[in-house]
Structure 1
Amino acid sequence: MQNAATPLSDQNLQLEIPSDNLSVRQALGKVLSLTLSAEEKSVVEIVLAEVLNNIVEHAYQEKPTGRIDLSVDQSDTGLRVQVQDEGLPLPEDLPSAPVEHNLTCEVSDLPEGGFGWLLVRELTEELQYERRDGRNILSFRIPKPEDEQA
């Protein structure tokens, strides 16, 4: 499977990504090549790296030859993103379950896991997940910083 990109316009992108780390990095580079401010690029990189790497590491842990479909639509208010895969489903309530960690402890005592989804939830809006017809469908909006909205 090739890492195929279909630009829909200068503001939209659709990618079919093989579920491996190199392909995820290449896809992330294509998304970051959209016209984005430095602040938007930082947020996009954090959110998409977390989501896509989780799919490779967890959803396709039993089937490493899967595919990830990524759609990015850019507008005046930010990026609308949809990610689909046919891997294992997300653990129940992961996208919406509260993650509460006490961060006032020593670094060596910090709990393992959960921080990635905390970042995804904090940096996105309209986060939705559904499992439909054997596919995981995750959608969200990465808002444009208020001082950059048209």
Structure 2
Amino acid sequence: MHQPLISNLTHQIQFQIDSNLEDVALAGVSVRALCNHFEMGSEVAYQVELCVVEMLNNVIEHGYKFQKGHDIKVRFGVGDGRLEVIIIDEAEPMGGTNEPRLCYDIENIESIPENGYGRYLVKQIMDQVDYRTERGSNYLSMVKSLS
């Protein structure tokens, strides 16, 4: 069985939200506060918050189809020069690994699509992204190097 890397990290915390878009902001604020507590800098705090919010929105929208009443766990860990966030849910697993086609006119802001870039964005920001489904649970692990 594949174990999340977070088990080896010095500082760990886990919290849980409902599959309700209104609760995603709480998770974002919590992650930013944790990043600030560990003095990661405002840019890293913003990036990590953005990634967590994007992925929680994906779970709620695509996995749970906006259905409230499902638990989503967020594990946050720091140590060994890295930060790791794992999002755990029991929603419909994420399908496809297709990257978005970056075909828009940078001069025309109206041509930039609003949806479909969350996973791409996370892969650009984080140093390692891993997704797996095991025994009915989905694990999305995002690692950011702090060195």
- Regarding TM over 0.5, the answer is yes
* Aligned length in residues: 134
Counterparts of 1:15 and 1:82, CA distance in 2: 11
Counterparts of 1:109 and 1:124, CA distance in 2: 26
If the length of structure 1 is used for normalisation, what is the TM-score? Answer: 0.78
Residues 105-120 of structure 1: pairs in structure 2 closer than 5 A = 106-111=108-113, 113-120=115-122
Counterparts of 2:140 and 2:90, CA distance in 1: 12
Q: Deviations over 1:59-118 (max 9, x none)?
A: 11164211101101012523111111011111122xxx3333123353333345321111
1:82 alignment partner in structure 2? 86
Does 1:70 pair with 2:77? Answer: no
Identity of aligned residues (%): 26
1:100 alignment partner in structure 2? 101
Structure with more helix by fraction: 2
Counterparts of 1:113 and 1:53, CA distance in 2: 11
Structure with the bigger RCO (C-alpha within 8 Å, sep 6+) is 2
Q: Describe the SS at the equivalent of 1:64.
A: coil
- How much is the aligned-residue C-alpha RMSD, in angstroms? 2.2
1:3 alignment partner in structure 2? none
Q: Describe the SS at the equivalent of 2:27.
A: helix
If the length of structure 2 is used for normalisation, what is the TM-score? Answer: 0.79
Counterparts of 1:122 and 1:89, CA distance in 2: 22
Counterparts of 1:92 and 1:38, CA distance in 2: 32
Of 20, 36, 43 in structure 2, the residue corresponding to residue 39 of structure 1 is 43
Counterpart of 2:135 in structure 1: which amino acid? D
Question: Unaligned stretches of 5+ in structure 1?
Answer: 1-8
Residues 1-150 of structure 1: pairs in structure 2 closer than 5 A = 11-34=11-34, 35=37, 36-61=40-65, 63-93=67-97, 97-104=98-105, 106-111=108-113, 113-144=115-146, 149=147
Stretch of structure 1 that moved more, 17-26 or 103-112: 103-112
